[in-house]
Amino acid sequence: MELSDLDLSRAALLVVDIQPDFLPGGALAVGRGDEILQPIADLMERDPFGLYVATQDWHPPGHVSFASQHPGREPLEVIQLHGHDQTLWPDHCVQGTPGAELHPALPWERVSAVIRKGTDGATDSYSGFRNNFGPAGERPPTGLTGYLRERGVDDVVLCGLARDYCVKWSAEDAAAAGFRAIFLWDLTRAVDPSSDDEVRRDLEGAGVLVTGSDSLPGISGISP
């Protein structure tokens, strides 16, 4: 995919949920998630982007998305919550725990804002832009759209964990908000790799550009 018109100095890199609980050995480990740490760190160290933003899953204890809060249910089961499908997860990224911290392998000093999500105990939040559906059918914004707009950002480049949940939802919401959303497929990993074809179709159907890090202007040699 050609992105020759992309000016990285006016684009934002959104680094999604790089936290120990999502990496091998963590409470909700994404397979091979550790493979993307060094490439993302390399991309950030090259400092080509005008803005760097991170998201951080930050759940209160007893969050509604935890299977432990639903007797008889197991992680990865799907229930109805507020009229929509809700995947149940192991307890993860609980506020103040080591597994919820931003992983120290990345140069977070580059980041100008961290959007904490999943802070409402009654509603999940995959996207960095909006919460999941609430009881009234709404998806409350996090404020990220306005933050980016006020800084003149038109293009949002996304990477992180997990490909089929939080990065996907963030990319779709970025596109819906009017940004050009660029999804770095090689710098993501999936909870369920068997869903990759469906994820790609959904992203492209939402107007997201799915590409690899080597397609970024002036960037090469960082792909895992």
Binned at pLDDT 50, 70 and 90, residue 134 comes out as: confident
Kindly tell me if the per-residue pLDDT of 147 is higher than 90: yes
Annotated catalytic residue within 34, 57, 164, 166: 166
Give residue for tokens 């980041």. 111
Both tokens of 140, joined, read: 């409350």
Tell me what pLDDT residue 96 has.
97
Mean pLDDT confidence for 202-216: 96
Q: Do residues 92 and 21 make contact, with C-beta atoms less than 8 angstroms apart?
A: yes
Annotated catalytic residue within 17, 91, 124, 164: 17
Q: Which domains does the chain have, with CATH numbers?
A: 10-206 (3.40.50.850)
Torsion sign, CA atoms 37, 171, 49, 55 = negative
DSSP state of 223: -
Active site residue 17: yes
Annotated catalytic residue within 34, 57, 91, 117: 117
Pair type for strands 78-81 and 84-87? antiparallel
Mean pLDDT confidence for 209-217: 95
Could you give phi then psi for residue 149, rounded to 5 degrees? -60, -45
Active site residue 159: no
pLDDT-above-70 percentage for the chain = 99
Mean pLDDT confidence for 72-81: 95
pLDDT digits (tens, 9 = 90+) for 23-35: 999 999 999 999 9
b/e 62-71 (16+ beta carbons within 10 angstroms → b): ebbbbbeeee
Residue from 155, 145, 162, 205 nearest 181 by CA: 155
Tell me what pLDDT residue 2 has.
64
Mean pLDDT confidence for 42-49: 96
Radius of gyration, CA atoms only, the chain: 17
Tell me what pLDDT residue 3 has.
84
Total-model pTM = 0.96
Binned at pLDDT 50, 70 and 90, residue 135 comes out as: confident
Q: Do residues 78 and 67 make contact, with C-beta atoms less than 8 angstroms apart?
A: no
Tell me what pLDDT residue 98 has.
98
DSSP state of 143: S
Does 5 or 151 have the greater pLDDT score?
151
User: Side chain identity at 5, as an amino acid letter?
Assistant: D
pLDDT digits (tens, 9 = 90+) for 86-129: 999 999 999 999 999 999 999 999 999 999 999 999 999 999 99
Tell me what pLDDT residue 1 has.
52
